[in-house]
Amino acid sequence: MKKIKAIGVLTSGGDAPGMNAAIRAVVRTAITNGIRVYGIKRGYNGLYHGDMFEMNLRSVSDIINRGGTILYTARSKEFNSPEGVLKAKEQCEKAGLDAIVCIGGDGTFRGALDLSRVGVPCVGIPGTIDNDIGCSEYTIGYDTAMNTAMEMIDKIRDTAQSHDRCSVIEVMGRRAGYIAVNTGIACGASAICIPEHPFSLEKDFLEKVRANQKTGKRHFIVLVAEGVGGVQQMAEEIEAKTGIETRATILGHVQRGGAPSLRDRVVASQMGYHAVKLLLDGKGGRIVAMQSEKIIDLDIEEALATKKTLDPALIDMNDEISI
């Protein structure tokens, strides 16, 4: 890889709190080390269209505490083709970009792989609230999203408790139950329903309700991951079978936004910093990740092939203590 003089940075896929902290770290680390940085707007879409601007130290002032992404994000149909990737490469050459830092999820990393293969070195940073990146224990936005969901459920709990109700609550997580499991534990949910595990309403919840009612428990929370869905139907079934007034709530997009938590800011800063250090060391085609709380990096293909599994012990634990 040739010596880097200028890089681009983009965010792609769904926005996640902490993306701005990562952008800030990328921009500042680059400039501190004598590299110019261009902000590419709306992900690969902006790269394809050459929609970018040079950033300086002040371009990223006072954004570490802001949700969303100042570089915007979007899907790009045009980029998703061999011609699109070559067009993007041309735009890099035109602007003098020697490498790109791409912040987002698996789709973002596949774009980074495509670009790396045609000769534009890329480094990917995992940014998605769902924590569904196989190679990394942690993804930027995950902690904030869970805390936001938790705070909302804490509020629902007040009403559930005052009315002796059951609340069936859908949290984010299309393919993965990480948010649901951890939020469920943190909110004392009686049952947690995720894509990775089978769920029997009778065995995993109704039996528990009957047992818990004998000890005086009168309000209940069931957490359901987006990837399972069906909360309205489940609420009706619970009310029909138990006689407990039951309400369904979909927490929705609120979980994506808001000021990032400390953990998201710190990890995003570390990952953005690490990404640029890799490029300074002449390493492209890498994904930054967290393993055992350490920031490491992997080859993109290896990263995309890595799987992780949710620890079922967490659900077993919840079954013993949320009673």
Which residue from 146, 168, 223, 275 is in contact with a second copy, where contact means CB under 8 A? Answer: 146
Smallest distance, a second copy to C-beta of residue 216, A: 5
Q: Which residue stretch of 81-89, 105-113, 190-198, 269-277 sits at the interface with a second copy (rule: CB under 8 A)?
A: 269-277
Q: Which amino acid is at 209?
A: V
Is 312 near a second copy (CB under 8 A)? Answer: no
- Asked if 158 is an active-site residue, the reply is no
Q: Which of residues 83-122 bind a second copy (CB under 8 A)?
A: none
Task: Return the closest-CA partner of residue 305 out of 44, 113, 79.
Answer: 113
Is 81 near a second copy (CB under 8 A)? Answer: no
- Please tell me the distance from the alpha carbon of residue 115 to that of residue 110, in angstroms, as a whole number: 9
Whether the Cβ atoms of residue 197 and residue 312 lie closer than 8 Å to each other: yes
Smallest distance, a second copy to C-beta of residue 258, A: 4
Q: Which of residues 162-191 bind a second copy (CB under 8 A)?
A: 162-164, 167, 182-183, 185-188
Which H or E run includes 103? strand 99-104
Catalytic residue among 15, 98, 130, 143: 130
Smallest distance, a second copy to C-beta of residue 301, A: 26
Which residue from 12, 73, 116, 131 is in contact with a second copy, where contact means CB under 8 A? Answer: 73
Smallest distance, a second copy to C-beta of residue 230, A: 16
Beta strand segments in 117-214, E = 122-126, 166-171, 191-193
Which residue from 8, 68, 111, 173 is in contact with a second copy, where contact means CB under 8 A? Answer: 68
Is 309 near a second copy (CB under 8 A)? Answer: no
Whether the Cβ atoms of residue 271 and residue 295 lie closer than 8 Å to each other: yes
Is 25 near a second copy (CB under 8 A)? Answer: yes
Q: How far is CA 237 from CA 125, 161, 214, 247, 312, in A?
A: 42, 20, 21, 11, 26
Is 12 near a second copy (CB under 8 A)? Answer: no
Task: Return the closest-CA partner of residue 153 out of 222, 93, 54.
Answer: 222
User: In this complex, which beta carbon is closest to a second copy, that of residue 109 or of residue 178?
Assistant: 178
User: In this complex, which beta carbon is closest to a second copy, that of residue 113 or of residue 289?
Assistant: 289
Location of structure tokens 């649901």:
180
The tokens of 10 are what?
């983009």
Is 126 near a second copy (CB under 8 A)? Answer: no
- Please tell me the distance from the alpha carbon of residue 20 to that of residue 64, in angstroms, as a whole number: 6
Q: Which of residues 223-262 bind a second copy (CB under 8 A)?
A: 247, 249-259, 261-262
Whether the Cβ atoms of residue 126 and residue 186 lie closer than 8 Å to each other: no
Is 15 near a second copy (CB under 8 A)? Answer: yes
Q: Which of residues 48-67 bind a second copy (CB under 8 A)?
A: 56-58, 61-62, 64-67
Q: Which residues contact 156 (CB under 8 A, 6 or more apart)?
A: 167, 169, 221, 249
Catalytic residues: 130
